[in-house]
Amino acid sequence: MAWSAAATVTRAAAPAAELRLPLTAGIGLGLGLGRASFAVAGRFRAFSASLSTAAAAVKKEAVQTEKAPAALGPYSQAIKANNMVFVSGVLGLNPETGKFVSESVEEQTEQVMKNMGEILKASGASYSSVVKTTIMLADLQDFKTVNEIYAKYFPAPAPARSTYQVAALPLNARIEIECIAAL
CB 69 within 8 A of CB 101: no
Question: Do 90 and 133 share a domain, yes or no?
Answer: yes
| Residue 79 shares a structural domain with residue 122 | yes
Same-domain pairing of 103 and 119? yes
What confidence tens digit (pLDDT) does each residue in 38-58 have?
A: 444 445 455 444 444 555 788
Q: Give the pLDDT mean for 107-120.
A: 98
- The Cβ of residue 42 has, within 10 Å, a number of other Cβ atoms equal to 14
Asked if 95 and 168 sit in the same domain, the reply is yes
pTM summary value: 0.71
74 prior amide bond cis, ω within 30: no
Choose the final residue of a domain: 16, 32, 52: 52
Q: Taking the mean position of all CA atoms in its chain, how far away is CA 14?
A: 52
Q: How many domains does one find in the chain?
A: 2
Rounded Cα–Cα distance for residues 152 and 166 (Å): 24
The Cα 104–Cα 174 span in angstroms is: 8
Same domain, 37 and 67: no
d(CA 31, CA 36): 9
pLDDT at 93: 98
Q: Indicate if 37 and 127 belong to the same structural domain.
A: no
Same domain, 79 and 103: yes
Is the model's pLDDT at 171 over the cut of 80?
yes
Same domain, 69 and 47: no
Confidence class for position 101, pLDDT limits 50, 70, 90: very high
At residue 16, does pLDDT exceed 90? no
> Is 143's pLDDT higher than 60?
yes
State how far Cα 134 lies from the chain centre. Answer: 10
pLDDT tens, residue by residue, 127-139: 999 999 999 999 9
User: What is the residue-averaged pLDDT of the chain?
Assistant: 81
Give residue 125's domain range. 60-182
